[in-house]
Structure 1
Amino acid sequence: MKKIVYGLFFGDSITYGEYDSVFGGWVDILKRYALQKFHEGNGDELILFNLGIGGETTEGLLKRMPVELSARNSADGNLVFLSYGANDLAIKEGIQVVEPEKFKNNIIAAVQQAKQFSNDIYLVSILPVSQKIDGVVVGSGKLRTNREVVAYNEILKDIAAEYSLGYIDFYAALFDDKEVLLSADGVHPNEKGYGMMAEIAIPVIEKYL
């Protein structure tokens, strides 16, 4: 008998797929891929939920996570993806939105919540920012640096290792070609960038199809 597994993608506007008018972002590409595989009659059904909210930090995640997890809980199992940090690390009016130690504690708390529903939890790296906005205050009033991106990614890697979680390293994959793979705002991927992210993530979800 085939199983129905849910995949829950928590994150910000990059999870949501902002600025991708072609594919709808990397999570939506994965949704279509999983559906296609199911219709081909291969294996179990994997239903993916895009729970990305633009501008969200780990503070917002902790507030809504219990409700979201309870509402989408498959008896056959759940996958949980946590994709945060791009908004947490931003500096606005001289203050970091969510400081590193708080970010670390928030991610650990989120992992502990997710563990009540899932044994398959993945942390997703923060993307690099374009050279043109690295250290620059942009129109939203936020300032981001690749130095901070690396520091926050190290926190995610350490947590993944400590709690035996999966880690999806989009940062390393996109860094060298970031000027080509990021959109004009220098933060969000363009359709090429989102497509590459999906290619990297497909082998992860393949295990559950």
Structure 2
Amino acid sequence: MTLQYVALGDSLTVGVGSGLFEPGFVQRYKKKVEEDLKQDVSLVKFAKSGLETAEILDILNMPFVKEQVKKADVITITGCGNDLLRSLDIYEKEKDEHVFLEASSHCQKNYSNMLEKINEIKGEKDGCYVIRLLNLYNPFPHIELADKWITGFNRHLKQLESPPHVKVIDTYAVFKGREKELLSFDRVHPNSRGYEAMAEKLREAGYGPLDNEI
């Protein structure tokens, strides 16, 4: 039996920053799942650099994507980084902290809707799958407001957890204090080591009901 892995998201799911011919976290995680569960894994990615959470949510309405999600045993989602960058731009111009709160609640709502949509696609019968939401790390540790906003968003995202199916992966903790080592030359995206650390953090979350099926 081959496990199906669907990766949804933005540039992190694409693997931007990892270097030429180097895999991002998605391919690395796929390999770890294969090693740990002794199963082949078939990977499908629906991701594009620059996507905001509303656009990732929209992807779940596409018939081909629905078809893949319905069959998926493992789903990972990255998002909200671009919503944050847009908020920072607005903040630079307007100096109004409220833009961060708006973006945070907007992202959380979109994540909540993504989970609802996936449940709807899956149907109540199919309980044997895992969803892993990767929270935000802070590529701007020198901007105090950014850290405040990101930790606030991460707290809210954590509320969407419902183990063992849905778990939030603490990417923030992976990068905290290790930005120089784990971020690529653009200082925003992870480098190869950063993506490996993300994949390892995903692995640590275990495989929930999939473990019992093998």
Pick the TM interval, shorter chain. 0.7 to 0.9
Distance 1:99 1:171, change over 3 A: same
The CA deviation at 1:32 is 4.0
CA distance in 1, matches of 2:207, 2:117: 25
Moved over 6 A (4+): none
Match of 2:90 in 1: 93
Residue of 16, 19, 37 corresponding to 2:17: 19
CA distance in 2, matches of 1:65, 1:73: 8
The CA deviation at 1:51 is 2.3
Percent of residue pairs identical? 20
Relative to total residues, which structure has the larger helix share, 1 or 2? 2
TM-score, normalization by structure 2: 0.76
Aligned residue for 1:131, secondary structure, equals coil
What stretches of structure 1 of length at least 5 have no aligned partner?
136-143
2:6 partner letter = L
Match of 1:140 in 2: none
CA distance in 1, matches of 2:177, 2:160: 25
Deviations 1:106-138 (A, max 9, x none): 111100011132642221111221435x37xxx
Match of 2:8 in 1: 10
Match of 1:139 in 2: none
CA distance in 1, matches of 2:23, 2:203: 16
Aligned residue for 1:126, secondary structure, equals coil
CA distance in 1, matches of 2:164, 2:199: 25
The alignment status of 1:79 with 2:74, answered yes or no, reads yes
- After alignment, is 109-118 or 155-164 more displaced? 155-164
- After alignment, is 163-172 or 4-13 more displaced? 163-172
Aligned residue for 2:131, secondary structure, equals strand
The CA deviation at 1:62 is 1.6
Aligned residue for 1:66, secondary structure, equals coil
Residue of 30, 42, 49 corresponding to 1:47: 42
TM-score, normalization by structure 1: 0.77
What stretches of structure 2 of length at least 5 have no aligned partner?
none
1:81 partner letter = T
Deviations 1:131-163 (A, max 9, x none): 35x37xxxxxxxx82222111111211122599
Distance 1:6 1:101, change over 3 A: same
Tell me if structure 1 keeps the 8 A contact 2:140–2:146: no
| Equivalent residues, number | 193
